[in-house]
Amino acid sequence: MFTDFDFDVIERALPYLWQGMMFSLGLTLLAMVGGIVLGTLLALMRLSSYKVLRVPAGTYVNLLRSTPLILVIFWFYFLVPIAVKHITGDSYAQGIGPFHSALIAFTLFEAAYYCEIIRAGIQSVPAGQVQAAQALGLNYWQATLQVVLPQAFRNMVPILLTQGIILFQDTSLVYVVGLTDFMGAASKVAQRDGRLVEMYLFAALIYFILCYLASFFVKRLQSRITPPR
Amino acid sequence: MDFGFLSQPAFSGGGTYFDWVLSGIKWTMLVSICAWVIAFTLGSVLGVLRTTKLWWLKGPATAYVELFRNVPLLVQMFIWYFVVPEIVPKTLGMWLKQGMPMPEFWSAVFALGFYTASRVAEQVRSGIQSIPVGQTHAALATGLTMPQVYRHLLLPMGYRIVIPPLTSEFLTIFKNSSVALTIGVLELTAQARTISEYTFRTFEIFTLATVVYVLITMAVTVLMQLVERRLRVPGFIGTGK
Amino acid sequence: MAMIEFKNVSKWYGSFQVLKDCTTKVEKGEVIVVCGPSGSGKSTLIKCVNGLEPFQQGELIVNGQSVGAKTTNLPQLRAKIGMVFQNFELFPHMSVTANLNLAQVKVLGRSPEESTEKSRALLQRVGLIDHARKFPGQLSGGQQQRVAIARALAMDPIAMLFDEPTSALDPEMINEVLDVMVELAQEGMTMMCVTHEMGFARKVAHRVIFMDQGEIVEDATKTDFFGTPRSERAQQFLSKILHH
């Protein structure tokens, strides 16, 4: 069945694919860190007792969560150069390439999803903990940073990492704006050499191995974190 | 913002750009609903199989879930569209490439349906497993057989528990249907991009597309909340316990 | 022939032995109370009777059938043995009547009308006929447990198993459940009850079994047990639960 296929094409393309993989992993890591930081802020805003913080954060999260990632990528691919032009006055927007647009799009998009995970994590910390911290005289930020967030994050690590795996899979969508991530590299080779079957199956295999191993480790971590009952 | 361009005759096809938007919405809905039929039925079966104690039922279901959720949707879409016709027997491959109507559409439906089935399976499994084991014991103690326990207890309770996560899976399918543009399905996001390329009204047309996605999401959410309320068990609060 | 007979039953969870060589029997019409500290295996023991917990060694004969045997039709056997659980385990998505009807229709093959008639009679008996159309979540714990007893009785069981039926209840609801149980005992029902309610044991039990660490330490008549338990472990246990 596979006699017509030429799997050597993969070997020849390996350096190029490796570059693409570094791009995918880099984008995943940066967007994950940015998304978690921004997501934490959004979660604190959504749980705030001030309406001026709660409502905008809620609107932002619901808006981003209702919009397809591809449309968000298109949005930022279009908006980021305009915004940069406005800020710097430089009509060529030097130094801001499609990578930065993609990074901003992914960070802002993932922040909405991380926000909901972190919000649930914060809410899972018993209210008594906050009251105890307040009774000791800690202020909001002290109680949040010293008591609430450490407990919340400890419970959330597996879910945050699982969301990271989803993010890694989602980075393949930068293909739509022509960036060369792992999938972009694979599909460029596939089209250049007319080897679609080989390249796409190879890409699927690599994604599967990486994501499967990653989720396996997350599962092990989870069983270590959750105390046995 | 000026939406006047929507009533202008489109670059091709006879209609206006507004007609393009409507056609985009139609394909988005068609892809989502057809894919959901696959995802829901297959996902339910797989999810139930994963809760059984029989390894020869559980094993294949688990393998399916691991395989389909660990490969990005985009890659799966390319495989259904570009790879499957090449690796199936020749005659079937020829038919897939030349005889079958709307190959992009069906590739997108299969890719999205089989991919989401793995996620639905996990929701259904965790819904059933969140029912306390004492309930199963009580049902068995009255003499019901295991299939009867599934039919009268685990499935009716399990599905009530998973209505909210299944709603969000449907909304995920709906949003993910935009990935179909990569293989040439002219759904809403694809139409928005094309219109922006022809008219340079990027801001307006992206805003319109976003609003449509948000409105449909809101409508589905409200509808499912009504369904959930209708099916709510009196005195039974929250999910899980 | 005894209704329930344990012959050297042993059970392991992995390498941990939860039941050690348990031997005892329950005659027809007998009321047996099983007590012991938590984790002593008493719930596991009672759940072996209807095969909810499988065991690895020994033999268990219920109504002339060997529970562990592959040829035994467990659903058929279970249909004859009623069971009441610590957490009631009513099915939350069904009305009270539907809870009572389910197994009557699906297992015994009774018609819905006949089942409903039987269910209503039993609800009348446990004093809950007014709640027939409610859902379990709308009832108090004591009421739910009485429904659960009625659900078990609807199958016309030849014996009843009670697994700590009052330990999840608020104190003021315990008696309404115990009253139903006492009535059943006085009517001659064969009962095996895991419970710490020593007042109940004093009133209706024929024998008391005391378990500790998976072993049956004491298996004595009520008078002997409450008189002077032979084992030190049982004495300690009794002094702990009786003196406060």
At residue B239, the pLDDT reads: 39
Answer yes or no: is B7 within a domain. no
**Is residue A190 a contact partner of residue A199, using CB atoms and an 8 Å limit?**
yes
**Mean pLDDT, rounded, for A28-32:** 96
- Show which subunits contact B, needing at least 3 CB pairs below 8 angstroms: A, C
Q: Which residues make Cβ contacts (< 8 Å) with residue C28, sequence separation at least 6?
A: C2, C3, C158, C190
* Torsion angles phi and psi, residue A74, rounded to 5: -60, -45
Answer yes or no: is B236 within a domain. no
How close A171 gets to chain B, by Cα (Å)?
Answer: 9
* Torsion angles phi and psi, residue C187, rounded to 5: -80, -5
At residue A96, the pLDDT reads: 65
* Torsion angles phi and psi, residue B161, rounded to 5: -65, -35
Answer yes or no: is B5 within a domain. no
> pLDDT tens-digit profile of A52-75?
999 999 999 999 999 999 999 999
At residue B110, the pLDDT reads: 96
ipTM reported for the complex surpasses 0.95? no
Angstrom distance (rounded) from CA C140 to CA C173: 9
Identity (one letter) of the amino acid at A45? M
At residue A229, the pLDDT reads: 42
Which residues on chain A are in Cβ contact (under 8 Å) with B90? none
Q: Which of C97, C83, C36 is nearest to C233 (CA)?
A: C36
At residue A134, the pLDDT reads: 79
- B15 versus C129: which is more confidently predicted? C129
- C181 versus B234: which is more confidently predicted? C181
Angstrom distance (rounded) from CA A20 to CA A32: 18
Strand-by-strand arrangement of the C31-35 sheet: C81-84, C159-163, C191-194, C31-35, C207-212, C215-221
In the predicted structure, residue C11 carries a pLDDT above the cut 70: yes
What are B9's two structure tokens?
A: 């005759």
Check CB contact of A197 with chain B, cutoff 8 Å.
yes
Number of helices (H), then strands (E), in chain C: 9, 10
Residue B234: CB atoms within 10 A of its CB come to 12
Angstrom distance (rounded) from CA A227 to CA A173: 38
At residue B14, the pLDDT reads: 72
Q: CA A167: distance to chain centroid?
A: 4
What residues make up the domain containing B226?
Answer: 14-231
Strand-by-strand arrangement of the C65-66 sheet: C16-26, C4-13, C57-62, C65-66
Number of helices (H), then strands (E), in chain A: 9, 0
- A185 band by pLDDT with thresholds 50, 70 and 90: very high
- A206 band by pLDDT with thresholds 50, 70 and 90: very high
Q: Which of A186, A162, A166 is nearest to A23 (CA)?
A: A186
At residue A4, the pLDDT reads: 66
Q: Tell me the pLDDT of chain A averaged across its residues.
A: 88
Answer yes or no: is B168 within a domain. yes
**Is residue A70 a contact partner of residue A78, using CB atoms and an 8 Å limit?**
no
How close B136 gets to chain C, by Cα (Å)?
Answer: 9
Kindly list the residues of chain C whose beta carbon comes within 8 Å of any beta carbon in chain B.
47, 50, 52, 74-83, 85-87, 89-93, 102-103, 106-108, 134-139, 148, 151-152, 155, 161
End-to-end Cα distance, chain B = 50
**Is residue B202 a contact partner of residue B189, using CB atoms and an 8 Å limit?**
no
In the predicted structure, residue A117 carries a pLDDT above the cut 90: yes
Q: Which of C166, C163, C170, C167 is nearest to C146 (CA)?
A: C166
At residue C194, the pLDDT reads: 96
Tell me whether residues B144 and C75 touch, CB distance under 8 A.
Answer: yes
**Is residue B130 a contact partner of residue B239, using CB atoms and an 8 Å limit?**
yes
Angstrom distance (rounded) from CA C176 to CA C148: 13
At residue B89, the pLDDT reads: 85
> pLDDT tens-digit profile of A77-91?
888 777 777 777 766
At residue B119, the pLDDT reads: 95
Check CB contact of B147 with chain C, cutoff 8 Å.
no
**Mean pLDDT, rounded, for C193-219:** 93
Total number of domains in chain B: 1
Element (H, E) at C13: strand C4-13
**Mean pLDDT, rounded, for A193-201:** 89
- What is the longest distance spanned by two Cα atoms in chain C? 55
Angstrom distance (rounded) from CA A39 to CA C107: 53
Angstrom distance (rounded) from CA B135 to CA B158: 12
Lowest mean pLDDT among A26-40, B93-107, C22-36, C180-194: B93-107
- pLDDT averaged per 10 residues in sequence order, chain B, 241 residues: 79 82 94 97 96 92 95 95 88 81 92 97 95 94 94 93 92 95 93 89 91 94 90 62 32
Tell me whether residues B138 and C83 touch, CB distance under 8 A.
Answer: yes
Angstrom distance (rounded) from CA A181 to CA A188: 10
Tell me whether residues B233 and C75 touch, CB distance under 8 A.
Answer: no
Domains of chain A with CATH codes: 7-225 (1.10.3720.10)
- A95 band by pLDDT with thresholds 50, 70 and 90: low
At residue C243, the pLDDT reads: 63
- B94 versus C86: which is more confidently predicted? C86
Answer yes or no: is B2 within a domain. no
At residue A226, the pLDDT reads: 65
- C152 band by pLDDT with thresholds 50, 70 and 90: very high
In the predicted structure, residue C139 carries a pLDDT above the cut 80: yes
Q: Domain holding B189: CATH number?
A: 1.10.3720.10
Identity (one letter) of the amino acid at B77? M
